[in-house]
Structure 1
Amino acid sequence: MTGEIPAENLTGALGGYTPADQRTPLLPSKKQDLTVEADDGYHQASFSSAVFNLSTTTVGAGIMALPATMTVLGLPLGILAIIVSGLLTERSLDFLIRFSKPIKARSYGGLMADSFGKIGRIMTQLCIIVNNIGVQIVYLIIIGDVLSGAKGTVDSAHTGILVELTGGPTWWNGRLFVLTVTTLFILVPLACFRHVDSLKHSSALSVALALVFVVITTVVAIKKLFDGTIEAPRMLPDVYSISSLGRLFTVVPVLATAYICHHNLHPIANEMKASSGVEIDKVSRASITLCSVIYVATALFGFLLFGDKTASDILSNFDADLDIPYSKFLCDVIRISYAVHIMLVFPLLNFSLRLNLDSLLFPKRRPLSESSRRFYTLTAILITTIFIGSTLVPNIWVAFEFTGSTATVLLGFIFPGLIALRDSPRIATSRDKWVASIMVVVAVISSVSAIVTNVIDLSIPVDSTQPKNNLHGIYSYMGARS
């Protein structure tokens, strides 16, 4: 896309940057020509709107997998891993924000183009496309599982809410019909908003529904703790061999997916009020803090409640009797609120997916929000593709284990670290480069270890006599399906 960028809009959203704020670049970057992106003139988003949208982008389905990381790492190390991941995410978002200011980059791809040229932009866009399409397919499958049920192992089977309410399966509570109605009457209308700020109310509701799950889980866990019906949680990881040590790294895709929100950072910043002085860095810190609190509470109390019986997707645990008053009602509330929460996260992922696909295919066209033909055509193609993937290709979970270890880790940690190390605008401090180096090295080692472990788990049958302390299949939130 081409066009002039009003400096006052960008500097307002990104914190009123002026050359005095940071060290002035010695030479202008010639690669800025690759990042000239048009502004559609919409700048109405408030601080609360931006926080809700970024938080909802972050808190997706990954929240349900976090308690299972405690079964791998043990409680103290697991909580520490969540906190450290939050701190690294905050730092990676800070890199994206600060290095976007001097070059006025309006997208993640534009920022990567300034550092690594056209190849950097294309790689970033492809990672976002692969990540978001995959996650949205998973979201639709989860919605179908929660509402219509899922077959599988004891650990993964679900009885659908609608099937329970009607006393058995019918044509109208079947997966295909439920997903069709959900897509046409909920997901498509939400996906047709031209600006991410328009989703602020649905995002606020989505965060509230995530808090409903946290509150219920916390209250139930505390009650059972006082009743003395909760066993002492495992404190240390159960490492009994080299392979079990390697499986500790399988938590990396889970944590990376839980915190991934980088693809929506620039779209949210671009729509913030230029005259309000609101800074996107304050938005990112508030969002990551909120999400970290939700994640720690979910992991802590979810693991306290179910211990080593915590399923890869803790939602499976809420299919059973919790041995408390109103157990069935509370479990239904959790499952329904979770399904609605996922529906409200879906359009935010679709928003950045559509923007990046449009930028990849039509890099020099006017803004997508100003072209109805491109906007609706891309929306229809993407949602149709995702719908088909969720209904006809259900057994795709292994692929998500690898995308979580690759595309997601690249977007969340490796690319931001490389941007700081490349330091195209010459503003990085020595501390920035140390942090970026550590971020990239840890991310690469963890990612490679997770990939190798997944390959081994696929090629070598798991010994049933050994403790199952890994997250193999964690992206099959509803498990092996039939």
Structure 2
Amino acid sequence: MSSSTSSEANAPLLQVNKPPGKHTSVPGAVFNVSTSIIGAGIMSIPATLKVLGVVPAFLLIVIIAWLADISVEFLMRYTNAGKSTTYAGVMKESFGQAGSFLLQLCVVMNNLGCLIIYLIIIGDVLSGNQPEGSVHLGVLQEWFGVHWWNSRAFSILFVVVFVMLPLVSYRRVEALRFSSAIAVFLAVLFVAICSAMAITALFEGKTETPRLLPYLDNGASFFHLFTAVPVIVTAFNFHFNVHPIGFEMDKPSDMMKAVRISIILCTAIYFAIGVFGYLLFGESIMSDILVNFNQNSGSAFGSVLNDIVRLSYGIHLILVFPLLNFSLRANIDEFLFPNRPIPSKDNIRFMSLTLILLAICYLAAIVIPNIWYFFQFMGSTTAVSLAFVFPGAIAFRDVHGISTSRDRIISALMIILAAVTSIIAISTNIYSFFT
């Protein structure tokens, strides 16, 4: 679907904009893209099967994965045809300064919100929480008892200073390929353990038969189905990292190959965790499956498995954190200092932004006990805009004259579907919150 003429015409430009030194290979890009995709969204995938049923959920995951592939192809094609090497720059070429600002605002809201959520979940895993007065101990408290050093504030601070700060201090995305590989492995381990537990429960006759189709008893139930859409859209929202990863590759044109491999891998992971998670916990599945693993397993071996699941996912989020932070820092810097060199070439600016963002995330994670409603709202607004609305609008506007009639039809449908489902999902969530 890409225009070879446009790519060849801009080849010298792409070479000039690539950073010096060793560049990212396709496997390294696959790990970084996959890690960008698999974040906190994987925790809510099983709940979408509870809402939609297995068959509609599978179809929705496949459709959104397909649309994500098309939207990235739009972005890369218009990047190659223009002069910019950033998402915000491509939006500026199509919609001027207002388009660039709107894109940067959405990236900041989306990524900052996700980073805060990650720290909250990490805090829950290590030091537990107290939702509505009930106490859920973290792994450290279960192992060593309740002490000041494994309190929520201290454990998150330790992780931020001694683990995350070194990771977010890397100047290039390529340097994170090994931590991303570990993050993908931990996500696969999480799915493997859930699968093994579900299959064991199946043979023991302890599982419920998953519903293949949704249960609808009134109009409200029908509209409730749309609340699953932003969850899956958020699970495939990685577009903010397409340019940082792609333009560190020896051949940026290989980025689409890496993206497609990553989307196929993550689709398989999502559907596996959805089916086996739903099979394991049935109708008692929570909106965050990690909460189900906090419950008493009834055996020492089950408790060990629960701890492994929670710790593996907590470490996974620690390793996802620097990738989202990278694009967040880059967009804030591009907005505040549009005419300055990239932040990696300015030590003071780079470290100042890095430390300020870490401090904001840490303080928010301590002050805010639960922001899952914000997570749902974010999936219906910023995530759907970054993944579908903006790429579709770029292709539909077609400032370079390279869109086909099929492209314009798909982009228009992408924008309309994203807008309609988001409005219904937001309205349904607001209605459910007040009733």
TM-score band by shorter chain is over 0.9
TM (normalized to structure 1)? 0.85
The one-letter amino acid paired with 2:408 is K
Moved more, 103-112 or 185-194: 103-112
Match of 2:13 in 1: none
Q: Deviations over 1:113-146 (max 9, x none)?
A: 1111111111101100010001100000000000
* Aligned match of 1:85: 64
Are 1:443 and 2:429 counterparts?
no
- Indicate whether 1:432 and 2:411 are aligned: no
**What is the aligned partner in structure 2 of residue 76 from structure 1?**
55
Q: Which runs of no fewer than 5 residues in structure 2 stay unpaired?
A: 11-15
1:469 is matched with none
Specify which of 273, 283, 291 is matched with residue 298 of structure 1.
273
1:102 maps to what in 2? 81
Change (3 A) 1:104 1:291: farther
Distance 1:319 1:157 in 2: 11
Residue 326 of structure 1 and its aligned partner are, at CA, apart by: 2.2
Partner letter of residue 140 of structure 2?
A: L
In 1, distance between residues paired with 2:53 and 2:373? 25
Alignment RMSD, CA only? 2.2
Q: Is the 8 A contact 1:234 1:307 kept in 2?
A: no
Shift of 1:288: 0.6
Once the two structures are TM-superposed, the CA of residue 426 in structure 1 deviates from its matched residue by 1.0
Which residues in structure 2 correspond to 1:25-64 (within 5 Å)? 40-42=19-21, 44-64=23-43
The structure with the greater share of residues assigned to helix is: 2
**Which residue in the other structure is 1:9 paired with?**
none
Find the aligned partners of 2:184 and 2:83 in 1 and give their Cα distance: 30
Partners in 2 of 1:279 and 1:181 — Cα distance? Answer: 38
Q: What residue number does 1:465 align with?
A: none
Partner of 1:19: 5
Q: 1:110 to 1:81 in 2, by over 3 A?
A: same
Partner of 1:233: 210
Answering whether residue 340 of structure 2 is matched by residue 354 of structure 1, we say: no
Q: Contact conserved, 1:128 with 1:263, CA < 8 A, in 2?
A: yes
Question: How many correspondences in the alignment?
Answer: 430
User: One-letter code of the match for 1:432?
Assistant: D
CA gap 1:370/1:429 in 2 versus in 1, 3 angstroms? same
Letter in 2 for 1:119: A
SS of equivalent residue, structure 1 residue 364: coil
Relative to 1, partners in 2 of residues 1:307 and 1:40: Cα closer, same or farther, differing over 3 Å? same
Does the 8 Å CA contact 2:18/2:248 hold for their aligned counterparts? Answer: no
Secondary structure at the counterpart of residue 144 of structure 1: helix
Tell me how far 1:71 sits from its aligned partner.
Answer: 1.1
Q: Is residue 158 from structure 1 mapped to residue 163 from structure 2 by the alignment? A: no
Give 1:369 deviation, angstroms.
1.0
Q: Report the more deviating stretch, 78-87 or 66-75.
A: 78-87
Question: What SS is found at the alignment partner of 1:169?
Answer: coil
The CA deviation at 1:42 is 4.6
How far residue 231 of structure 1 moved from its aligned partner, in angstroms, is: 1.6
Q: 1:157 touches 1:316 (CA, 8 Å); kept in 2?
A: no
1:202 to 179, 201, 205: 179
CA pair 176-21 structure 1, distance change in 2 beyond 3 A: closer
Residue of structure 2 equivalent to 1:392: 367
Distance 1:206 1:104, change over 3 A: same
Report the CA distance between 1:328 and its aligned residue: 1.5
Q: Distance in 2 between matches of 1:331 and 1:184?
A: 27
Q: CA contact under 8 A between 1:146 and 1:158: conserved in structure 2?
A: no
Change over 3 Å in CA distance of 1:256–1:42 after alignment to 2: farther
* Partner Cα distance (1:405, 1:21) in 2: 33
Q: Deviations over 1:136-165 (max 9, x none)?
A: 0000000000000012269x9632000000
Q: Work out whether residues 120 and 370 of structure 2, in 8 Å CA contact, stay in contact via their aligned partners in 1.
A: no
What CA distance in whole angstroms lies between the structure 1 residues aligned with 2:285 and 2:276? 11
**CA distance, structure 2, for counterparts of residue 157 and residue 286 of structure 1:** 42
Structure 1 position 235, deviation (Å): 2.1
SS at match of 1:228: coil
The percentage of aligned residue pairs carrying the same residue is 43
Matched, 1:135 2:114: yes
Describe the shift of the 1:362–1:76 C-alpha distance in structure 2 as closer, same or farther (beyond 3 A): same
Q: Is the 8 A contact 1:56 1:206 kept in 2?
A: yes
Cα 1:240–1:411, aligned 2, differ >3 Å: closer, same or farther? same
Q: Does 1:421 align with 2:396?
A: yes
Moved more, 363-372 or 220-229: 220-229
Take 1:425 and 1:164, find their aligned partners in 2: how far apart are those partners? 59
Equivalent-residue separation in structure 2 for 1:300 and 1:400 (angstroms): 23
Q: Which of these residues, 374, 378, 386, is aligned with residue 403 of structure 1? A: 378
Shift of 1:324: 7.6
Partner of 1:186: 163
On the 8 A contact 1:47/1:278 being kept in 2, the answer is no
The aligned residue for residue 316 of structure 1 is 291
